[in-house]
Each structure stands twice: as C-alpha cells, then as structure tokens.
Amino acid sequence: MRFIRGLSKETIKMLERIYKQSKYHQVRQRAQCIKLSYQGYTIKDLIMIFNVSRLTITNWLDDWDTFGLIGLYDKKGRGRKPKLNDEQKKQVKQWAKESPKNLDVVIKNLREAWNIEVSKETIKRTLNLFA
C-alpha cells in the first residue's frame, strides 16, 4: 500500500484550491489524486475514481514525491517538435513574399534547400506567426 504522507494544512488548502480553480483538467485530477491518497484511498481506488492505469497513478504519486506542487503540471517539451527552426521560418516568409500566390514554390524551395517536406497548411501556419 502506498499513500501520500505528511501534508501540511497549507499544502492541503493549496491542493483544494488547485483542484477547484486550475484551468488544466489534468492538473485538477492530479491535485485531487494526491489529496485522496493522503486521505487513505488505495491505488486501486484511485484507478477506479480517475479511470486511468496503475502506471499513471504511480507516476502522479512519484512526481509529487519528487517535485511537490510543480509535479502536478506537465513538463516542458511535450508534443510534436516544429519542423522548421527560426531561420527557416524567416526564409519561408521571404520566399512567400516573392511568390505569394503559389505556395508550391515555397514547398519546392524548402525541399531543395533543407530536404524538408511540409504541407501548404504548415506554410500557412508559419506565415500566420508573422502576421
């Protein structure tokens, strides 16, 4: 049996506040999970309450033990990495200025210059960043 132990009154109040006010659903879940574990709910109970795997619950508890309140939040660097770096984005903007009606030219230039395959939608999103 694994439980969170030794939470101060201030920490419990902070967890309650995060649970009620955080704009991130996962953060609210994690805060509630920590609080329930402190109250004596088993990992099996928490799995049923939050409808997540045992590994997820143990990761939440491990992150709490290691990082405290910061462990409730997602770490930086999650998600897909951008295809184009800042220099390439500037060059895409320049190419788009040269041929604003034909993004196929920009795609061709990217392929030739850096061997990068992108869609027209990616080019449009890149150009919208500069708008």
Structure confidence by residue, pLDDT tens digits, 71-126: 999 988 888 888 899 999 999 999 999 988 899 999 999 999 999 999 999 999 88
Region of poorest pLDDT, from 10-24, 60-74, 80-94: 80-94
pLDDT-derived band at 51, boundaries 50, 70, 90:
very high
Instruction: Please state the pTM of the whole predicted model.
Output: 0.66
Confidence (pLDDT) at 101: 87
The domain spans of the chain are 9-72, 86-130
Is the alpha carbon torsion for 21, 22, 24, 25 positive or negative?
Answer: negative
Confidence (pLDDT) at 77: 84
What lies within 8 Å, CB to CB, of 3 at 6+ separation is: 37, 38, 40, 42
